[in-house]
Amino acid sequence: MSSGDFNAFEMAQAQFDKVAELLNLDNGTREVLRIPLREYHFSIPVHMDDGTTEVFRGFRVQHNDAKGPCKGGIRFHPQETVDTVRALSMWMTWKCAVVNIPLGGGKGGVICDPHNLSMNEQQQICRGYVRQMAKNVGPINDVPAPDVMTSAQHMLWMLDEYEVIHGSKNPGFITGKPVGMGGSLGRKEATGYGVIYTVREALKELKIDPKDTTASFQGFGNVAQHAIELYTQLGGKVICVSSWDQEDQTSYSFKRETGVDLPELLTITNKFGGIDKAKAKELGYEILPGDEWLVQEVDILVPAALENQIRGDNAEKISPKVKLIAEGANGPTAPEADAIIEKKGIFLVPDFLANAGGVTCSYFEQVQSNMNYFWEKDDVLNRLDLKMTSAFLAVSELAKKKNLYMRDAAYVIAIQRVAQACKDRGWV
């Protein structure tokens, strides 16, 4: 989650402050936007399978709901902190605003490690979480979704508990549900595909054919897998991916010059995105240290794992060949690394634009659940492509017009929209 004294919330605030200065925002608006409107801290007692009772800590942060109900995932992670949840809820506010969907930013988390919990214990955590939050979340005020180490199954347990408490059917309460139980087709592909829709548009601007490009990915979870799938369909070649190794509690990079074969690699990958090292070796992959994905001689880098991965101490090592970085993860690049990337002249698609496909499709799922009518998969992905492309074009146009770094341009658009909503409501 964090390296040393890294604090994601301080980073999110630093990014905000830089743009607030640029926009010359008044103090009231700054104060409203740089801290969450509400946050909840609670305990979830669970009867463990061995007969003991363990108490897990849970959080829900609602950063801003001026543009609509809060929206954001619930993470299960052993190193979860409230500051990470605060940062992610803030980034969600900007993410919804940059793709212009009528939602605000929220985020949740539980300090736990699903690897060491039975399904029964995980189900109790899900139901306990909803019992603590049932009055303060719902289809019209705060809509959760899956995130790190939570799945469609967890969402369904949460939905069921919420419906039991309220005595009514509320499929729009939560997104990321299984298809057939109120979930949307295209949701599993959405974040990864969204990243590649922005990559495709960025390459057009750079006048580069995807077929002439190579890429290196950090992470091999849902986002990376689907991004690799669409990127290779466009003709690109992935030569390196990194993945977390549960046994060694560290990550490794898997490199093969002839290219990564996604279907083949998936046969030796566990459900958490961990690749089997011994089997990968047999398939001709070089096993390298975890951070080697960053220094590959490729055209495109896609960090699609955790925050704070490209930092001041390693950004200089990025190959001069790299022309594009598309951030599939949330907050993967520290502010001091941004300065280096900008100096190197690398085109950057910032996280809350690049990975907004997930929340956009969650919004589509919510719309479908609330009207109880579901779209075909092609329909979902076409709408997603349209939303992601128009958001990308708006940001890149502003970046060119005002000579701004892409991250700053995306922030300017998002913060202006949310600040305006706060003003229109008379909050500031």
132: CB partners within 8 A, 6+ apart: 40, 42, 43, 44, 58
Strand, helix or coil at 57?
Answer: strand
End-to-end CA distance of the chain: 35
CA–CA separation, 428 vs 419, rounded Å? 9
Max Cα distance, the chain (Å):
64
CA 337, 338, 343: angle at the middle one, nearest 5?
A: 100
Strand, helix or coil at 225?
Answer: helix
| 281 in catalytic set | no
For the chain, the helix, strand and coil percentages under 3-state DSSP, each to the nearest 5: 50, 20, 35
And the tokens for 26?
């008044």
Nearest to 244 by CA among 267, 226, 271, 207: 271
Strand, helix or coil at 159?
Answer: helix
Q: How many helices (H) and strands (E) does the chain have?
A: 14, 12
CA–CA separation, 324 vs 309, rounded Å? 16
And the tokens for 292?
């080697």
Q: How many CB atoms lie within 10 A of CB 346?
A: 18
And the tokens for 338?
């941004």
Backbone angles phi and psi of 150, in degrees to 5? -125, 155
Q: How many CB atoms lie within 10 A of CB 251?
A: 21
> From the candidates 107, 237, 255, 387, which is the catalytic residue?
107
Whether 344 and 319 have beta carbons less than 8 Å apart is answered as no
What is the Cα 315 distance to its own chain's centre? 21
366: CB partners within 8 A, 6+ apart: 139, 143, 172, 175
Whether 177 and 155 have beta carbons less than 8 Å apart is answered as yes
Give bridge partners of residue 349 from the DSSP assignment. 326
Whether 213 and 300 have beta carbons less than 8 Å apart is answered as yes
CA atoms within 13 A on the CB side of 148: 25
What residues act catalytically? 107
